[in-house]
Amino acid sequence: MNLPIDRRRFSASLAFSALAATALLAGCGKVPDTIKIGVAQPLSGPLAALGQDLLNGVNLAVAELNKGGYTVDGKRVTLEVVSVDDKADAATGKTVAQQLVDAGVVAVIGHLNSGVSIETAPIYAAKDIPQIAISTNPKFTQLGFPTTFRMVANDTLQARAIGSFAATQLGASRYAALDDGTPYGKGLADGAAEQLKAEKREVVVRKSFDDKTTDFEALAGELKAARVEVIVSTLNDFQAIAVLEALRKVGHTKVRLLGGDTIKTTDMAKGAGIVEGIYATSPVLEAKEFTTGKPFLEKYIAEFKKAPAYGGHYSYDSTYVLSAAIQKAKSAAPKDITKAMHSINGYAPVIGTMTWDDKGEQRYGAVGVYELRGGGWELRMRSDRW
């Protein structure tokens, strides 16, 4: 039996269906099938192991998210990593930053070096692209861009940690402060020297070098003549080892070395036994220090056949928090993602949580002090209130 059709209701139903379809298509239009995440790190040169570690962390997180069926605003989306080598060089960094912008990335995990992060920040900011860096120089988040985000504590806290630990735990009266001339190294060494002076300790030698110098014979003689007991250094690990070798040659080894995180490497074990003690501060706490670090380490080693070299767990966590911000924004537009980043208290699988203040500083950053013992680094203390 044929039933009569209510033409008014049928027409209204068609109109409603058309509107719903239009709305659905509009929603899908905001979210592409593939969302590109940029990674800019030094993948060649002396810092390649650190840069590759940070890239590995992103790749591991993206693989897990894609395998788990990542969705944005109800749509299944594939995350894609676009990686570039900044060579730890500001000029190269600016070139590859523009390449990432041209490639259509919605966010960037980069860079390692403060000087590179600072120089590239305006490029990303011009396109509203959030930039999540492990760089620690305070200037990075003081540029006035809403797009700058830091993974870890900054050098203001690290400088206080260096100065405070050197003054109160190493029991010396005559100090030297050395840096590698980079924005990271010089700024951190200046801050540490100021903290030492505030602690009523005397900095009798203050020297700046470039980040490639390895001839420290003249410096060793000066340190010996000044009767330096503790060397505070932001030199790279290979430079710090060269300083220790030079001190051995002039017979001045009753000293202790306290460096920044650029000496907290496996290579630094080459300097063990030359002087009375080697210490390092770092805002990059090790994965094993966190209760959820073990599963990450197992997955990382299974995937890359080696342990993390630096901060792969921070880039891994940053990627997860970024992915949550994209979901919160319900959009792949960089400006929407940046806005969501400022309001999110993101779940970070290893360190627990990541959340930023209005400048992009990590709210729960801490700095640890480590001692080189038995060929490895052992945590002495850590605090977020140095």
Is 208 strand, coil or helix?
A: strand
Give the pLDDT confidence score for residue 14 in this predicted structure: 40
Q: What is the pTM of this model?
A: 0.86
Q: Domain 31-153+288-355 carries which CATH code? A: 3.40.50.2300
The two structure tokens encoding residue 13: 């139903």
Give the pLDDT confidence score for residue 46 in this predicted structure: 85
Identify the CATH assignment for 156-282+368-383 out of 3.40.50.2300, 3.40.50.720, 3.20.20.70, 3.40.50.12780. 3.40.50.2300
**Measuring CA to CA, how many Å separate 190 from each of 35, 67, 178, 183, 203?**
41, 46, 9, 11, 11
Q: Do domains 31-153+288-355 and 156-282+368-383 have the same CATH topology?
A: yes
Alpha-carbon torsion, ordered 209, 212, 215, 216, to 10 deg? 40
Residue type, 70: Y
In sequence order, what are the residues at sequence separation of 6 or more whose Cβ sits closer than 8 angstroms to the Cβ of residue 71? Answer: 77, 327
CA angle 351, 355, 359 (to 5 degrees): 135
Q: Under a CB-based contact definition with an 8 Å cutoff, are residues 250 and 228 in contact? A: no
Domain ranges of the chain: 31-153+288-355, 156-282+368-383
Give the pLDDT confidence score for residue 301 in this predicted structure: 98
What sign does the dihedral 297-373-184-200 (CA atoms) show? positive
Give the pLDDT confidence score for residue 230 in this predicted structure: 98
The C-alpha atoms of residue 257 and residue 166 are separated, in whole angstroms, by 9
Low-confidence ranges of the chain (pLDDT < 50): 1-28
Give the pLDDT confidence score for residue 29 in this predicted structure: 52
